[in-house]
Amino acid sequence: GAGRPGRARARARARAWMEESADEVAERARGLLLGSRLRELVRAWLAEDVPSFDYGGAVVGDRAGVAALKMKSAGVVAGKPFVEAVFAEVGCRVEWEPGVEEGVEVRAGLPRVIAHVRGPMRCILVGERVALNALARCAGVATRARALTATVRRAGWKGRVAGTRKTTPGFRLVEKYATLVGGADSHRMDLSSMVMLKDNHIAAAGGDVRSAVARARALCGFALRIEVECGSQAEAAAAVAAGADIVMLDNFEPAEFRRVAQAVRAAAPHVTIEGSGGLSEDTIGQYACPEADVLSLSIAQGCTALDFSLKVVS
């Protein structure tokens, strides 16, 4: 169509943004967190951990104390805002060691003191486990995101690795934030962030892709993009013809994925192509072809939490 070259140029501009921002996003991710939302999360975590009485805290009392926060396993530092919010809620403050920035990768000199927490002793201890849980999980997800991104960069691929919404219930904000700090894309945050028509949606809507996309467009308007999950080249062609903005090639073997991605790109230069299903640290490099814009997987599921500890020093 006459508008296709313009759409192709728009896609090229978007692709350039993806390439340029991957290494910079960790620096800006912290600005995404709203203070009121952080406090809401932290209060829920503390209420879960202290639903009634803090017996151990009563034994310790309110004398002023200091505890050292130690990083014990190698990886990416991620989760500082959550640690600070937890201890602020219980009346303590966190003082980070120089150089301990969000997104920095620590490999040597472990275990290492990365911060000190100051405040009433019982308050330090009541916040300890909640803060460590958030920090360990956040850093673990960020470390995996960093490793996955490094794998495809070594292969020369310029697209984006993205973490799907297969996240821990109640912990999505932490894990999506960690994905960004690790240098990957957060994909859609929730069902309201983007329209994704999966195979079950198409089947439940009568099996007609064109009709399903038309209904979605009538509801979401111009502000949201529409993605269609496709399990074959024919389904991908139908999604493009229906007006999908993003075509997800799902559960393809690497060679077949590359072949179909090439065909879709040749037919529709303006469409974003995403690969998903079956991707892991061992296989993601095989999907990193020039035609692919996004490779998505469950970054938060199955990742190993990093090891941190908090020890009273005075």
pLDDT tens sequence across 264-296: 999 999 999 999 998 999 999 999 999 999 999
User: Given this model, what pLDDT does residue 242 score?
Assistant: 95
User: In the numeric block, which tokens belong to residue 231?
Assistant: 């399990």
Query: Residue 81, exposed/middle/buried by CB under 10 A (0-12, 13-18, 19+)?
Result: buried
Instruction: Decide if pLDDT at 30 tops 90.
Output: no
User: Given this model, what pLDDT does residue 12 score?
Assistant: 55
Torsions phi, psi for 143 (to 5 deg): -65, -40
The Cα 199–Cα 157 span in angstroms is: 28
CA 129 to chain centre: 23
Instruction: Decide if pLDDT at 300 tops 60.
Output: yes
Contact 284, 309 (CB under 8 A): no
Lowest mean pLDDT among 5-14, 206-215, 254-263: 5-14
User: In the numeric block, which tokens belong to residue 194?
Assistant: 């983007």
Per-residue pLDDT tens over the stretch 130-174: 999 999 999 999 999 999 999 999 999 999 999 999 999 999 999
Contact 197, 227 (CB under 8 A): yes
Q: What confidence tier does 28 reach under pLDDT thresholds 50, 70, 90?
A: confident
- pTM (global) more than 0.75: yes
Identity of the amino acid at 199: D
User: Given this model, what pLDDT does residue 2 score?
Assistant: 44
Provide the 3-class DSSP secondary structure of residue 24: coil
Among 105, 107, 191, 84, residue whose Cα is nearest residue 149: 105
Count of helices and strands (H, E) across the chain: 12, 12
Torsions phi, psi for 130 (to 5 deg): -60, -45
The Cα 128–Cα 264 span in angstroms is: 51
CA angle (182, 73, 128) in 5-degree steps: 90
Q: Which of 70, 72, 158, 166 is catalytic?
A: 166
In the residue annotation, 80 being an active-site residue is answered as no
The Cα 140–Cα 135 span in angstroms is: 8
The Cα 254–Cα 70 span in angstroms is: 41
How many Cβ atoms from other residues are within 10 Å of residue 114's Cβ?
Answer: 21
Looking at the chain, the whole-number percentage of residues with pLDDT higher than 70 is 91
Per-residue pLDDT tens over the stretch 74-110: 999 999 999 999 999 999 999 999 999 999 999 999 9
User: Given this model, what pLDDT does residue 20 score?
Assistant: 45
